Amino acid sequence: MLKLQRWFSRNQLFEQVVCKKAGHVDHAFGSHPFSSGVGIPGQKFTNTVPKNENDRVYAAYNVYKGKAGVSMFPCLPTFTKLESGSLVIDRRGSILLTFFPAIGERKYDWTKKQFFSLNPTEVGTLISLGPRDSCEFFHDPGMLSSTAGQVRKSLSIKAHADGNGYFISLNVVNNTQSTKEFLSVPFTAGEFSVMKTACSFALPHILGWDRLTKPSLGMEKGFQPNKVNREGLSLEWKR
């Protein structure tokens, strides 16, 4: 149990950091005004464009509905380069969900956004859901720190009774500020299919397995990544 909680904690810390960061630049990945996914060109955000972030790509998949919207995109893992030249994964990637409430027809209040970061196992759960399945994930951003229990987030994915779509809802309870926020976005079967297909595509990448299977560009000695020295085996076999 504690094990799970520690993971939740890391996830939530991550979400906090993203929040703080977003607070400074008034911006979050995947929620860029230019990347309005399903095409609502009229909406206006006051976000500023991020600076000093070269080579970023903004291409979130967004679903806008009457009471709220949600934006999703993958965060790749980070690697550390050892002296030997090997790369060791430092932190797993995730799928970051950003929820935001509607404040009018096709207008959304971006300053009230809430984050929920899906770890690989949560992504695995999501993509294995059948048309009548549901699931719920719990995160505590302050877990294992002095702020443990102050904020509690839960994400629920609940199938429609007719098996023809889902409600994806985020619940954030802040005990310190005595606030509760509930943001719920209905997904059609088609929208959920996009989410599942995109998350299935992204999962090996957020695990870092795309790096395991690709030779390094332009490096001949990188030709057989993860090659195990099998001379002993071959010798033994030829006898």
Residue from 139, 93, 149, 147 nearest 115 by CA: 139
Residue of 128, 175, 176, 179 that binds a copy of itself (CB under 8 A): 128
Q: Does 136 bind a copy of itself (CB under 8 A)?
A: no
Sign of torsion, CA 221 224 228 232? negative
Q: Which of 111, 134, 176, 233 binds a copy of itself (CB under 8 A)?
A: 233
Out of 134, 149, 180, 209, which residue is the one contacting a copy of itself (CB under 8 A)?
209
Taking CB under 8 A as the criterion, the residue among 68, 159, 183, 203 binding a copy of itself is: 203
From CA 152, how far away is CA 138, in angstroms rounded? 7
From its phi and psi, is residue 44 left (phi > 0), alpha (psi between -120 and 50) or beta? Answer: beta
Which amino acid, one-letter code, is at 31?
S
For a copy of itself, which residue of 46, 177, 178, 217 counts as binding (CB under 8 A)?
217
Structure token pair of residue 194:
């996009």
Query: Please, which residue, 143 or 183, has the CB nearer to a copy of itself?
Result: 143
Q: What is the largest CA-CA distance in the chain?
A: 77
Contacts of 90 (CB under 8 A, 6+ apart): 77, 78, 79, 80
Q: Tell the smallest beta-carbon distance from residue 63 to a copy of itself (Å).
A: 8
Q: What would the x/- binding string for a copy of itself be over residues 140 to 179, using CB under 8 A?
A: -----x----------------------------------
Among 31, 37, 116, 185, binds a copy of itself (CB under 8 A): 37
Distances (CA, A) of 220 to 156, 216, 217, 225: 47, 8, 8, 10
Q: Nearest approach, Cβ of 30 to a copy of itself (angstroms)?
A: 9
Distance (Å, whole) CA 209 – CA 90? 13
102 is an interface residue for a copy of itself by CB under 8 A? no
Question: Which of the ranges 79-87, 152-160, 169-177, 178-186 carries the binding residues for a copy of itself, by CB under 8 A?
Answer: 79-87
109 contacts a copy of itself (rule: CB under 8 A): no
